[in-house]
Chain A
Amino acid sequence: MATITPDTQIDIGHNDDPNSNYLTSSHGFLSWAFTLDHKRIGVMYLVGIFSSFFLGGIMALLLRLHLFLPDGLFPPSIIDNDTYNQLFTLHGAIMTFLFIIPSIPAALGNFVLPLMVGAKDVAFPRMNLASFHLWVLGGIFFVIALVTTRLDTGWTFYTPYSIQTSTNVIAATIGAFILGFSSIFTGLNFIVTVNTMRPPGMSWFKMPLFMWAIYATAIIQILATPVLGITLLLLMAERILQIGIFNPALGGDPILFQHFFWFYSHPAVYIMILPAMGIISELMSVYSRKPIFGYTFIAYSSIAIALLGFLVWGHHMFVSGQSPMTAVIFSGLTFSVSIPSAIKVFNWLATMYKGNINLATPMCYALSFIFLFSIGGLTGLFLGALATDIHLHDTYFVVAHFHYVMMGGTVIAFVGGLYHWWPKMFGVMYNEMFGRLFCLVVFIGFNLTFFPQFIMGSRGMPRRYATYVPEYEIFHQLSTIGAIVLGLGMVGAVTVLIVSLFNGRKAPANPWGAATLEWTCTSPPPYYNFEHAPAVGSPYDFSDLKYDPQVGGFVKDPAAANKPKPSSHH
């Protein structure tokens, strides 16, 4: 395998001071913008992703505020129907393409994965950097769409509307197309990294479950994303050249577009949720100090979910006029994916049994995840069942369902994971009390925002509505108040982390007593990650880790140190 290792990198201004870490090893904008170090790329992704999240979040708040009154809170001179449509479209598109798809894999995955395999970097550092640059470029196209004529198609770009609207569909689709490449690059890199760079002793079934999750995600990224790319290209061709692929006025088929689109976008939902599940597996185990229950099942179920996820796209189209037979088949397949997800929840619970549960902030997020993700998952049953989906499709029930899964699932896990790895990433400890407090605020705000949406949705409130009939007013108002609380909670949660950069206590190498390899290097990691190649043990065996009050973290128990270990001496 001819790969570039950090030794051969031409890194700008890097110094070899043994006391320096990856943050201090070199300085200046260029040393970041063109770094090949996976850790810096991860951090840059983190900044980028949070900026997108912020932008999408502001839009969400505007949407929610507007919906406070049936005819809109803001006068039409500020938010008219057109503006509302653009807001929900860009909110959805930014959250999906710029934020949530890259969030865990590209930011946390990039930082953590090479450390987890005890390596110096990912398999293809240059490709990794390119994936980030592509992400920035894709983001720029979104910004172009935003500041020019914007976009009002919904993030789904359904034809024929997307072919007729005068908004900037081209800029947005080019953006999404480029982001697709970014995503493919990340996925490819992770697959090769996991396949070729695992240290001796780390067999497939000794890998941390986060790695399994990222691996399964990468498979989807590589297989599904090209379909989106092609679909978007066809859409552009259709808009520019007026050829009849999707536009019925020209003899095209608008339903074909939906098939193409969901063939990518349904698996994309698993790009969002699988890495989150991986994080939760790590957190449940570490903070309960118990080996994860049913490791093999969790590992296989990630792959099963990834593969089955390709077969269920048709459930987005139950009322599109597809034949009843097709609908029945898709409904059946849809239920088949729900089982592995359900069982994961049972596994996480069983992991806590007889444990020593540390209710640190990341664990609070993990518990919150189980609560919210269960609601998200269970409400999927209503949508998978044909008779009920007819009524619920394209209502706020769906809006609530996917926010419970994506925001309540993925975002909560992401923040939990961020809190977990934060001391490793930046070498500082945050304030636990505030960390937990804002986790609670987020939890309350979240439920207040999205639970009423289940009720109004099942009562018939359609989604993507700028105005609505007064019957739904009370539910919208609860939801809007919830969104404000949720917004404050998220801002608080991020502030706790940022503040810690300035006044946080210095983090030990292993503050939580985790057994995966990233905790064996110093916090923050040195430029080359490890001073010595780490010894591979079981990722979930905590027995030889003891808390050392002097270090303020966990260290190897000397009594257990003589135990023979499979390791990679050289």
Chain B
Amino acid sequence: MLLRKITLEEFGAYRGKQSLDLTPKKNKPIILIGGLNGCGKTTLLDAIQLVLYGNRARCSGRGTKAYETYLRESINRKADPSRGSAITLEFTVMTGGHEHYYRLVRSWHISGKTLKEFLNVYVDETYGERVKAQRSAEPEGKFNRLLSEGWADHVESLLPLEIASLAFFDGEKIESLANPERAASVIESAVHSLLGVSTVQQLRNDLLALQRRQKLSEEEQHLLDNIRAQEAEREAVVSQYDIAHQELAHSRSELGKAQRKLDSLEKAFADEGGDLFTRRVELENDRKQALVRLAQVRTELTQLAAGPLPLLMVAPLLDDVRQQARIEQEAQQSAQVLEVLEERDRWLLELMPDATRAEVLKRLDDDRAERAAKTQLAVDLRLPHDALAQLTVLDELLQRDTQRSAQLLHSAAELAEHLDQLDRQLAGVPAQDKVEALQAARGEQIVEVTRCETTRDRATAKLEDLKRRREHVTTLLERAHKEFVRTKVKAEEVERVIKYSEKARDTLERFGSALLERHISRLEVAVLQSFKVLMRKQGLVRDLRIDTDKFILTLADADGEAIDPARLSAGERQLLAVSLLWGLMRVAGNRLPSVIDTPLGRLDSRHREHLVDRYFPNASDQVLLLSTDEEIDEYLLGRLEKSVAHTYTLVHDDTEFTTAVVEGYWWSAGASHAG
């Protein structure tokens, strides 16, 4: 980085527009700016920092003031606050092998009661090429809005603030660096930022950030969660399925058990005449009916028995009676006929002639005698005259009753047989209470079997349901798994990124510590060398060590004994500080401009010579040297002159309280202007 030009407008003591060309020349890195105390040397240093870093700038004039207040107060007292102040810094930066020309304009003014600040960045990216082509090229900066708005970030990549505060130092800073304890923090920050150690650290932090960014996106996380949820659900369903399966098996075996028990109960029941028992009432009803019918039959039989039926027993005797009755009837009839015949014979004899009368009479008498003989009964039972008729009726009745009796007897026999059978069946039916218990048990068992069947059916249904659900979940899971595979690829990638970034971070850490080690040792060498170059007492310090942990600088004498910094004089400590900064810049590679303000305060003439001869020309590619006439005096200017590219003097008008920049130094050309 090379500072090209700085222009101050109404800034601090600087009235109007004041420009300084800061471009160094070949082998002339020094820009010497002279100024008496209070002329604005430090203001110039502040201006450079302010234009670059704005609010963050560590301006010596700001102190603890608010930035806005500082800006307000920085506007020249004679200037119009509504027009305000401006600082323009032009510089070139090597970016990617090309020299870019930057013009940075920071301006601010007061509008009403508020302060408005503007920062405009103009960049010419092709400047370097044109310079190569035609030596003297005019920069053609273009306004870059992006950089203007994001300058605070951009400047960190060009010239980090930490480094700038090292590169731009004044005598006070050197004074503070002379204190070993305060030096440690400067060394630490310098080593870290200037020497790239902080870059390594930054890289590591960036990697960490990358790692943290490498989380799965929300959607992917959602997918994973989804899969996990589904897996959990599937697991749950599967375990439920297993349980249901077991339950089903259990209910089946229960049912089998219950069925077997029922079977055995039924068998026992059948064995005990259970079937018959269930028919007992039926049988008994049958028996009752049969008995009723038998009773009816018997009643009828009894009625028949009360009739003529017993007379059948004496059928032969009745035949005799019939015979007798017939005989008696005939005898009676004969007796009646005989009477009729006697009368008729008498009538007939009277009519007959006597001749035949005797003959006829005799014959008639014989006939009558024969007939009369028929009326003579051997036995006369004096049966009623209707006895035959009675017997005939009796025969008919008996015939009828016999038939009826035969029927009834048949029925009675059948009924008796039926009753017998019923009785046998009833006898087969066991005692009621015994079967009752069995029957109750059987009834309960039937209920139990039904219950078991219901349970099994339910279990089956549940199992089916779970089966369907399991399949459903499995399908969903499969789908989710496909998604998951894609996600997993990503996840693995993430994992890989994390793994490798971890590895890289580890490497970087080792690299960082190695780099630090190396830088420290280089710094030690550089600082020691610088110190030896600057020191009058060459043999005082033999060795210099910087602790890599606490960054405390220790010196050792010829015997290797540590030198207490308190033993060093104030001037020597100042030299040590300068050599520390120099060493740092040398190790960093002289890429940055050094701005040194009042550097020679406490030094004796020998040391001043050393600085002027050995340090200032070699401090960096560009050295802005701000000095009083006492520090770089005529003698020293003579020694320095060959390395000086430009000289300016800050001239203060005591009546106007304004400073103007004049070319030349007090003892060089144009010094006549210098007050």
Task: Judge: A and B partners, yes or no.
Answer: no
Residues of A in contact with B (beta carbons under 8 Å apart) = none
Residues of B in contact with A (beta carbons under 8 Å apart) = none
